[in-house]
Homo-oligomer: A and B are copies of this chain.
Amino acid sequence: MQKHDQDYIRRKNKAAVFQMIRSSAPISRADIARTTKMSPTTISRIVQELKDQGFVKEMELQTASTPGRRAILLELDQTSVLTVGIELDRSKFKIGIVDFEGRMVFVGNVDRELVGTPDETLAQIGRELQAIIEQQKIDAKKIIGIGIGIPGLVDTKSGEVILSAQLGWSRINVVEKLKKITGYDVAIDNELKVKALAEHSYGAAKGSSRTALIGFGSGVGSALVINGEIYRGDTNSAGEIGHTIVDPNGVLCACGKIGCLQTYIAESSLISEANKVRPISSLDELFEERRQGQLWAATIIDRAIAFIGITIANVISMYNPSTVIVSGNLVEKYEEIRSIIERDELQQYVWEPLRDSYQLVLSNLGSNGVVIGASLLAQDTFLSIEI
């Protein structure tokens, strides 16, 4: 076999061993050999390289079954690599420093200077990140890159935000700008896509082979993760369920079409419906009206619940996922809706043959999901375990 064939297989094998330790730690060399079907000699060589690079460390375990004998297990050295995860929203952003195993070392919320241009917002992010690194005494040398999650359409390759209604941005190259400001490598994606990745890796869908995440918040969106990989589609727009048509005789959407799902269930739509009856400025107020027995508020919320059911059903029909994660303010914050999801009471909307095909769960990383997912994206993009 020629030299470059050997290098290729070496790299593949090393990546496989690394992924196995990452997903199944603590794990023994013998178990890795058994699962990957590689030879013990190969495993030992690769593990030694990963130890030399600082990514993997050994832990010794007293085995219960054979007293006196110690098993040596491998795990990631979670302090060896750090990434920065950023969630950018209309009125605030969130910065997290995340370790090798998806644990938050630090997380902070910052109000966005709303009057600012994209350049000013990104400069503000740069200043806040620098302050966090200094104040929290983070070892900056360990940071291998930044990941950022954005509401809207994102071109992950060029690094550009194509269109974000929430931020009011279009055609802004965030990756280029933020790299220039911070000096770190930057990766970007849609917020729901990285959230799905985080829930799949560390949250509610750990171990699921096909995870669909639906977000009900300022907009409606979905994301699909297949075997640990985000399904992007051709222009990274897969899962944009907010503009699927669910009522051809319905309401005109700001996008110019009639009957978009968005128009029935986005936060702003619910509030604008409520304002036809009474001046209401937040979902909190709308839910409070309902608790006070206001039937008009119940009517609006009941219709939203029906559309939550329809959204879940349509995602199940299209993606046939093993796990459906429901997330976002509308479902996480209000007990009335959360409990319906927890009891999976919306099955009437799901096509009968699929009713037993999925597991429905609430997101469990909650409001940290985007930050953790964005940092994971940075890890996947910038971590190099090459020979």
Interface of A toward B, CB cutoff 8 Å: 1-2, 4-6, 8-9, 13, 37-39, 41-42, 153, 162-163, 209-210, 222, 226, 231-241, 243-249, 255-257, 260, 306-307, 310, 313-314, 317-322, 348-349, 351-354, 357-358
Contact = CB atoms under 8 A, between A and B. Distances in A.
B42 A244 contact: no
A278 B318 CA distance: 36
Contact of A240 (B38, B163, B222, B354): B354
B39 A320 contact: no
15 contacts: A1-B6, A2-B42, A5-B42, A8-B37, A222-B318, A234-B320, A234-B357, A240-B317, A243-B317, A243-B351, A245-B313, A247-B247, A257-B348, A260-B351, A314-B314
Given A210-B234, A246-B246, A314-B314, 18 more contacts: A9-B9, A153-B353, A234-B321, A234-B322, A234-B357, A235-B320, A237-B354, A238-B320, A239-B317, A239-B318, A239-B320, A240-B351, A241-B318, A244-B317, A246-B248, A255-B352, A256-B352, A257-B348
B247 A248 contact: yes
- Residue picked from A153, A257, A318, A353, most chain B C-beta under 10 Å: A318
Contacts of A322: 234
B209 A234 contact: yes
Number of copies: 2
Contacts of A243: 317, 351
Q: Sorted from nearest, which 3 A-B pairs have the closest CB atoms?
A: A233-B320, A2-B39, A243-B351
Contacts of A38: 2, 4-5
A1 B42 contact: yes
Contacts of A222: 318
A245 B349 contact: yes
Contacts of A248: 246-247, 306-307, 310
A231 B225 CA distance: 12
A318 to B, nearest CB: 5
A357 B247 contact: no
Contacts of A8: 37
Given A38-B2, A255-B351, A235 B9 contact: no
A317 B9 contact: no
A320 B239 CA distance: 8
B233 A321 contact: yes
B1 A5 contact: no
